[in-house]
Structure 1
Amino acid sequence: MTNKQEIINRFISYVTIDTQSDPESSSTPSTEKQWDLANKLAEELKEMGLQEVSIDEHAYIMATLPSNVPHEVPVIGFISHFDTSPDFSGTNVNPQIIENYNGEDIILNKEKDIILSPDYFEDLIQYKGQNLITTDGTTLLGADDKAGITEIMTAMKYLTEHPEIKHGTIKVGFTPDEEIGRGAHKFDVEKFGAEWAYTMDGSQVGELEFENFNAAGADVIIKGKSVHPGYAKDKLVNSMYIAQDFINSLPRLETPEHTEDRQGFFHLSSIKGDVEETKLHYIIRDHDRNHFEARKEMMQDLVAEINAQYEKEVIEIKIEDQYFNMREKIEPVQHIVEIAKIAMEAAEVEPILKPIRGGTDGAQLSFMGLPCPNIFAGGHNFHGKYEYVPVESMQKAVEVIVKIAELTAEKYRR
């Protein structure tokens, strides 16, 4: 349906623009360089003939493809983010194209001996015979989520060039700062004007997700008392030892490296300290809302217990909810998932319905009044040098977008 080279060219034109976001910045977008791709996308949307193209002061982009049917159809949308993760360098991305992948090791960088191997990354082997786009081993690729942007843009262009495909009004939205958890924070749901939407931000071909973690962040601050170690008897209080007690008191096997599927966890993501003060940062995740609340309560109870041991407040905790499981917002409108499932089957893609072990703009948007399941964008090994995306997976995602538009128009035809 879509030309492979067109998809490759478009994707490479996006990933070679550095759009890494910055969690330490309080501005939106969090980095000025995100504007480079944002402005490019806005111009391309205008050039391909979409209407109501806008880019606001925070770099949120919206556009409209008008309906070409006489009957009333719910307005639907497709959304992706253009920032890349701060976890790994996104500067000077130099994509490599592996044509007709032979199923063997891929040398990403000979000089640094960086190899993408199916022995370690087992998913690779399912793409034998396909065309892969990889990194050069020194940066991430940016398929998260420039693959999604590529697919939405390609699908909109295809629909404008093929008016024989009937569809209702379609909205397009591109956001900054999703990788630092802020992608939906300033998204104007009312202005977007869709009844429901789909984020194109999943991984392997076939993924269709409508449930995700409930999420919170916890900052733990431990206060000690520094005294000359030669005269410290009964006086020195080492905050790092108290931090160690706190860490070891949480369930050791309820961490990311020991959990899967719908199992939740506590994740110690950073630690910084000395005798006088130690700071821990945790993320708390669980698909089950009751278990999620119990995890937060466990941490608070542990703080109270340690303070009671010292008979004073040596430790404090601040917990902030970040997002919730969108399943409770999607289930009342389950037909929007069914449309995507049927669209995948029509594109000869086997739907893989599974929970997201993470978050997505769609979770926050669902709670903002825009139900928003998540569909595969095709990439693998996000946020690092082993990231890759099969071109054929991006092609299939384009087909799914087009088919969703077509099926929605058919469903509401009287």
Structure 2
Amino acid sequence: MDIKDRFLGYTKINTTTNQKAGAAGIMPSSPGQMELGKLIVSELKAMAGLTDIEHRDNGIVTATLPANCTANLPTVAFFGHLDTSSEHTGDTHASLIHYQGGDIELGHGATITVEDNPELNDYRDQDIFVTDGTSLLGADDKAAIAAIMHALQTLTTDPSIKHGEVKVAFVPDEEQGLLGASAFNTPDFADFGYTLDCCGIGEFVKENWNAGGAVITFHGQSAHPMNSKGNLKNSLLMAHDFISLFPRLETPENTEGREGYYWMKKLEGNSAQTVLNIDIRDFTKEGYEHRKVFVEKACQSFLNLYGEKCLSYKIADRYENVSNYLDNDIGQQALQLAQNAYESNGIDMKVIPMRGGYDGAVFSANGIPCPNIFTGAHNFHSINEYLPLPSLIAASNVVQTIITKIAEGNNQ
């Protein structure tokens, strides 16, 4: 199957993650993810030589390509996720256009402009996947699935290509706290691996957030205005005062690169009780721990000010920086293989810090060091998402090259 048709076929299945279902412990959180998994399984079964093809009840799909050479080689895995973000829930109507320059009119009043997307100039005279302006494209992360599956197809149809053992896994609900990766929990699946879950061609991620969150519940006391003086304790105003304790410039809208932040993510309630959700992010372990301590001290100061029953709180870790798990021999091998694969395909590696999380952070913490390779797409989580076809092909070529270089022993 052509990689173009493979990707378009995946986009036709609506796999929008369902936040409420995920919060209730349902996995996969949306039926489309199970449907896409079934399609992938049927395609895997059509490829000669694959073994251990499995579709778990929680939606996770796995398969193995056994080694076809006798050398004692490490097992490498490639990961993608089945779901798409919940920013837009409609079905995807993707098409492939030939881009000749200028703005791209998607329809329904949506336009991808060169002014906002100057990198479009790099893709002049290329075929590009776009939406009709009403939905996400879903290249995050169906481009990864297409790239990995195309690489498997190439290897299984040409047995002359020598390779060690290769494993693939596609997991649900990455878009809501890396739930599928957390459920995967198979540390002996591979020696190391790669996710394909970052953007434009050449991008490479080997660090992301240390991430956690805090939930603070402010306990007020309601009262009628006739006798509210001295009796009303407005939890909304307490929350407002609490938020004012945080540095205003250490927020997502005021930071970039490797700068951490506090994100006042959600606030809801009434005068009697208000709940505040805060995301806590930092790239360094030290910075992350400092931020958690800051939240803890803010809570304690409020307890001292308003009384011991004014609030309750919980601070919890969510995922770690993948770089915490790459500073060893196997992690360095994974990084060097990727570097060599990019170079062999004439791709300039652009190492970027990911201001977010990805499944590889969880896989790494669970024993599979896992940096992150580009899919080729741009504008994730937006109706302006687009994917140049040559970039998608390049992602698949990088996957194939990593696999062959392991067999060659050319990873020094």
Category of TM-score, reference length = shorter chain: over 0.9
- CA offsets per residue over residues 188-208 of structure 1, 9 Å max, x none? 42563x111111111111111
What residue number does 1:239 align with? 235
Secondary structure of the residue aligned to 2:213 is: strand
Secondary structure of the residue aligned to 2:327 is: helix
**Separation in 1, partners of 2:217, 2:117:** 38
**Separation in 2, partners of 1:230, 1:392:** 70
**Separation in 2, partners of 1:325, 1:263:** 14
1:366 to 336, 344, 364: 364
CA contact (8 A) 2:81 2:145 kept: yes
> CA shift at 1:96, angstroms?
2.7
What residue number does 1:377 align with? 375
**Separation in 1, partners of 2:91, 2:225:** 49
Q: Which AA in structure 1 matches 2:82?
A: F
Matches within 5 A, 1:317-332: 317-332=313-328
> CA shift at 1:20, angstroms?
1.4
Q: TM-score, normalised by structure 2?
A: 0.95
**Separation in 1, partners of 2:78, 2:117:** 30
What residue number does 1:156 align with? 152
> CA shift at 1:120, angstroms?
1.5
**Separation in 1, partners of 2:175, 2:209:** 15
Select between 71-80 and 183-192 the one with higher mean Cα deviation. Answer: 183-192
**Separation in 2, partners of 1:199, 1:312:** 46
- CA offsets per residue over residues 328-385 of structure 1, 9 Å max, x none? 2111121211111110111111111122111111111111011111100111111121
1:349 to 336, 344, 347: 347
**Separation in 2, partners of 1:78, 1:69:** 20
**Separation in 2, partners of 1:301, 1:228:** 33
What residue number does 1:82 align with? 82
Q: Which AA in structure 1 matches 2:370?
A: C
CA contact (8 A) 1:208 1:341 kept: no
Select between 130-139 and 39-48 the one with higher mean Cα deviation. Answer: 130-139
Q: Which AA in structure 2 matches 1:184?
A: A
**Separation in 2, partners of 1:258, 1:135:** 31
> CA shift at 1:312, angstroms?
3.4
CA contact (8 A) 1:343 1:400 kept: yes
Select between 334-343 and 309-318 the one with higher mean Cα deviation. Answer: 309-318
**Separation in 2, partners of 1:7, 1:282:** 41
1:59 and 2:59 aligned: yes
CA contact (8 A) 1:256 1:265 kept: yes
What residue number does 1:68 align with? 68
CA contact (8 A) 2:217 2:313 kept: yes
How big is the alpha-carbon RMSD for the aligned residues of Structure 1 and Structure 2? 1.5
**Separation in 2, partners of 1:47, 1:380:** 31
- Any gaps of 5 or more consecutive residues in structure 1? none
CA contact (8 A) 1:72 1:412 kept: no
1:6 to 2, 17, 38: 2
1:229 and 2:228 aligned: no
What residue number does 1:24 align with? 20
Give runs of ≥4 in structure 1 deviating > 6 Å. Answer: none
What residue number does 2:406 align with? 408
CA contact (8 A) 1:214 1:289 kept: yes
**Separation in 2, partners of 1:289, 1:123:** 34
CA contact (8 A) 1:64 1:169 kept: yes
> CA shift at 1:390, angstroms?
1.0
CA contact (8 A) 2:214 2:315 kept: yes
- CA offsets per residue over residues 34-58 of structure 1, 9 Å max, x none? 1100111011001012222111121
Q: What percentage of aligned pairs have identical amino acids?
A: 38
Secondary structure of the residue aligned to 1:21 is: coil
Secondary structure of the residue aligned to 2:20 is: coil
Question: Judging changes above 3 Å, is the alpha-carbon distance between structure 1 residues 316 and 125 closer, same or farther for their aligned structure 2 residues?
Answer: farther
CA contact (8 A) 2:75 2:164 kept: yes
Q: TM-score, normalised by structure 1?
A: 0.94
- CA offsets per residue over residues 166-203 of structure 1, 9 Å max, x none? 111111111111111212122142563x1111111111
Secondary structure of the residue aligned to 1:186 is: helix
**Separation in 1, partners of 2:225, 2:136:** 46
Q: How many residues align?
A: 404
CA contact (8 A) 1:215 1:323 kept: yes
Matches within 5 A, 1:245-264: 245-264=241-260
Question: Judging changes above 3 Å, is the alpha-carbon distance between structure 1 residues 122 and 255 closer, same or farther for their aligned structure 2 residues?
Answer: farther
CA contact (8 A) 2:60 2:180 kept: no
**Separation in 1, partners of 2:313, 2:126:** 50
Q: Which AA in structure 1 matches 2:349?
A: P
Secondary structure of the residue aligned to 2:237 is: helix
